[in-house]
Amino acid sequence: MPAMLRRLSRTDTVSGWTLVSPAAILIGIFGLLPVLMSLQLSFQKSDLLSDKTPWVGFDNYRKLAEDPVFLEAVKHTIIYTALFVPGTMLVGLFIAAALNRSVRFISVYRTAAYITMAVSTISQGIIFLWLTDRDYGLVNAALNAVGVPSQPFLASPSQALYVIVAMTIWGWTGFSVIVYLAALQGVPAELHEAAAIDGASAFTRFRTITVPLLGPANLFLVVWLTINALQLFDEVYVTTRGGPLRATTVIVYYLWDRAFVQFDAGYAAAMAYALFVVILVITAVQFRIARKVVHT
């Protein structure tokens, strides 16, 4: 009997690998292989055109600490992440709390809150280019109507990054709303009823009951939004191309510029792997902190 079970187990294993092998081969060729090739490239000097790719070791990585444009891109990425992540979460929580009730047409309101996720990042960039245009944009038209002079917004070194923050918060709010709405609907109603009987106000109930129970949703959003923020590219490429005086040059945009404009692929690959390690470290730290503060 045990021998028969072993034969059946081996048969199941072979059948399973036979079924998944086409997908595994494709993932290996188009996923794992490029990752390994780019890791090798990060230790070489390459312009993507020549067959000559001399080995430079860790020189590409050492250059990162001495590159003023890269350090400026890091600063812009940090500022963007520090504003985008909490901003998206706060706006999403506010809207989700407003939508977590039974009123007429609530499904329409929830759909309207989520609709921004259906708009591609390219479309978002074009929309905000139109809205903030200095000559015919609706935002400047509204400012002029109340006596405020037109603003350059995306053309301004001091304003462009913050406009991109606002644009991406608008684009990601729908995602945040859905996550928080699902979490809010999982909060037991009897806890709020018991607290209300004890005389707790609505704000007190939200602060002491709802917010602690949103820990898993907060953790998910912090990790997910941080990873996306550190990889910001599309919105910058569409709206500012790095911005005046490189005011919106973030890490991934600079990476793209070094690889496909300046044709310094080895250095760009090193930049990509440095960012990969940073994302891993930040995510690990977030999960470690979450073990102590998140109520599951």
pLDDT tens, position by position, 72-110:
999 999 999 999 999 999 999 999 999 988 888 888 888
User: Among 172, 88, 160, which Cα is nearest to 128's?
Assistant: 160
User: Which conformational region is residue 263 in: left (phi greater than 0), alpha (psi within -120 to 50 degrees), or beta?
Assistant: left
CA quadruple 242, 163, 130, 157: dihedral, nearest 10: -50
Two structure tokens written together for 79 = 């500022």
Q: Are 265 and 48 in contact (CB under 8 A)?
A: yes
pLDDT digits (tens, 9 = 90+) for 161-214: 999 999 999 999 999 999 999 999 988 888 888 888 888 888 888 888 888 899
pLDDT digits (tens, 9 = 90+) for 239-259: 999 988 899 999 999 999 999
Q: How confident is the model at residue 118 (pLDDT cuts 50, 70, 90)?
A: confident
- How much is the pTM? 0.90
Is the domain defined by 58-293 classed in CATH 1.10.540.10? no
User: Among 74, 70, 254, 33, which Cα is nearest to 41's?
Assistant: 33
Alpha helix segments (H runs only) across 198-233: 202-205, 211-213, 215-230
